Structure 1
C-alpha cells in the first residue's frame, strides 16, 4: 500500500468501538495537526544511535506536584554542556524521541526528554490514537507543561548542563510547545519547531496558540513545516511567518513543498529522508549559532 493511502480497514482499526465515530475522529485529527497517513505503524526506527560514550538513561525531576520522569543523554563525564529540551509527540517519549536525545548528545549537548503526560496517562498503554487524543491530550494544560520544562531546565544544571545555554526542539504536539516555550522563558536562547500546530480555537488548557504569542518570543525559533501537511494549512504557516516578521523577531520558517506531516518521524510511513536530513542539519546549525 502507498504510504499516503489509508484503507477503510486500516482506518477502522484505529477507531475505539462505540466511542469515536469516523467523522469525529477525522475532525479531532485535523484539529490537532495530525494526518491519518502518518500514524505510527512500526515499532522500529530507521535511524538507531547507540549510547557508546554517553551517559544516557532515565531519571526524575521534582516538580510542585510529583516526580516527572525524563530520558536524558550526554557525553559521559562532560560538564557545562548546552542544554536541549526535546519535546515529544502525542505518543510520549518512545524510542524515536530517545534516539533524538542520543543524536544531540553525540553533538555535544545535554538532551532531556520529559514525559509531559505522566499525570494524565501513559500513551504507550492505549490502543490507538483516538484514545490518546480523547483521554490524555485535552487534559494537559499549557501552564503545566511550561512549569515542567522550567523544572527540567533547572535540573539540567545538576547533570552537567549550562543553564545559560538553553534550547528546545519538539515534534508535532511538541512543535507547538516549542513556540509557546520560546514566548514563556526569557532565558531560552533558541528553538526548533518541527511541524507544530500554529493556530486553533482556544480552550481552558490551551488558551493561546503560537500565532497569538508571535510578538512575545524571547528566543529565535526555526520552524520546519511540510507543504503537504494535511493538518497544518499553509495559510497558517504563512500567517505565522507574517506575524513574526511584523514583530521584528529573528525567527525563520522553512517549508518543504513535497513533505507531509511528521516527515522527520523515521518510524512512520511519513518519513522523508531528504527533508529530515536537511531539517536536522538546519537544527544543528541553528543551535550552534545561537548557543
Structure 2
C-alpha cells in the first residue's frame, strides 16, 4: 500500500471554503457499481482520483476535499465493486486479494463512469485523472483510453510495469496512444521505480510530442506525499503546487 490508514494529505486546509461532499455509487457500462466519494468546489475542472492499492479510504476523501477547497470538483473511485461489493470498508479490509482480481478493463470502465458523472451537465468540461502508486500508472493509462481527458497526473506510478492490474500493458507500450499532457511526480529513492524508468518515460513522451513534466524528487521515497513524511515537506509542497498549476492550465481557455 502507499499510505497508512491514518495518513493525511500534506495540504493545508482552507477554512471557510464553500465545499460540499457526499458518498455516491457510479454506474459502469458493464453493470459494475463502484463506490465513490465526491467533493464539490464549483470550478471548471473535474478531477477523477485513482487511489493506491487499498482503494477508496479516508486519505483520498481528504484529498478530494482539499481539491474542492481550491475550486475543483473531485470524484474518488473504488476499484473493487466486482469482487468485494459496493460500500465503505473497515480499516481491517484485506485489499490485496481484491487487487489481484482487479482488471485493466474494470479500471477503465470505472474511470469512464466517473468522467461521465463529472460531465453530466457539460460534455465539454475538462477532466483530469490524478492517481497514486497503482492509481498513478492507471491514471496515465486513462490518458490513452479514449476518455477525452485534458490531462493525467500520477504520483509514483510505474511507467513500465505490465500486468498491474490484470490485462494491463505497460504505460510505456502505449505512448503513441496518449492524447493529453502528462504530469509525473516520482520519488528518487523509490526501490520499486528506478530513476532510469522515470527518465525513459520522460524521453519517450517528449519524443512522441506529448507535453509532459516528469519530476523526480531526489532522495524521496515511495509515498512521500504524506503529512507524516516531515523530512519531505518541501517536496510535498512543490508537488502540490505543480498539481495546482497543471489544473489551472487545464482550466484556462488557451490550454492545449
Q: What TM-score, normalized to structure 1?
A: 0.76
Measure, in 2, the Cα distance between the counterparts of 1:67 and 1:203: 21
The two structures, once aligned, show a CA RMSD in angstroms of 2.6
Matches within 5 A, 1:1-291: 40=4, 43-45=6-8, 49=13, 53-63=18-28, 64-75=30-41, 78=42, 81-121=44-84, 125=90, 127=92, 132-133=95-96, 135-158=97-120, 163-202=124-163, 205-266=166-227, 269=229, 272-291=232-251
In structure 1, the gaps of 5 or more residues are 1-33
How far the C-alpha of 1:119 sits from its partner, in A, is 2.1
Once residues 91 and 65 of structure 2 are traced to their aligned partners in structure 1, the CA distance between those partners, rounded to angstroms, is 26
Say if 1:101 and 1:113, in contact at 8 Å, map to a contact too.
yes
Question: Which one has the largest radius of gyration?
Answer: 1
**More helix, by proportion:** 1
CA contact (8 A) 1:87 1:178 kept: yes
Matched residue count: 246
Deviation track 1:58-112 (CA, whole Å, cap 9, x = no partner) reads 011112323221101113xx4x732100110112222211111111111111100
Structure 2: 5+ residue stretches without partners: 252-256
Q: Bigger CA drift: 213-222 or 195-204?
A: 195-204
What secondary structure is seen at the aligned counterpart in 2 of 1:241? helix
Assess, with a 3 A threshold, how the Cα gap between structure 1 residues 192 and 201 changes in structure 2: closer, same or farther: closer
2:254 alignment counterpart: none
Give the alignment's TM-score, normalised by structure 2: 0.86
SS of the residue corresponding to residue 254 of structure 1 reads strand
Separation in structure 2 between the aligned mates of residue 190 and residue 83 of structure 1, nearest angstrom: 11
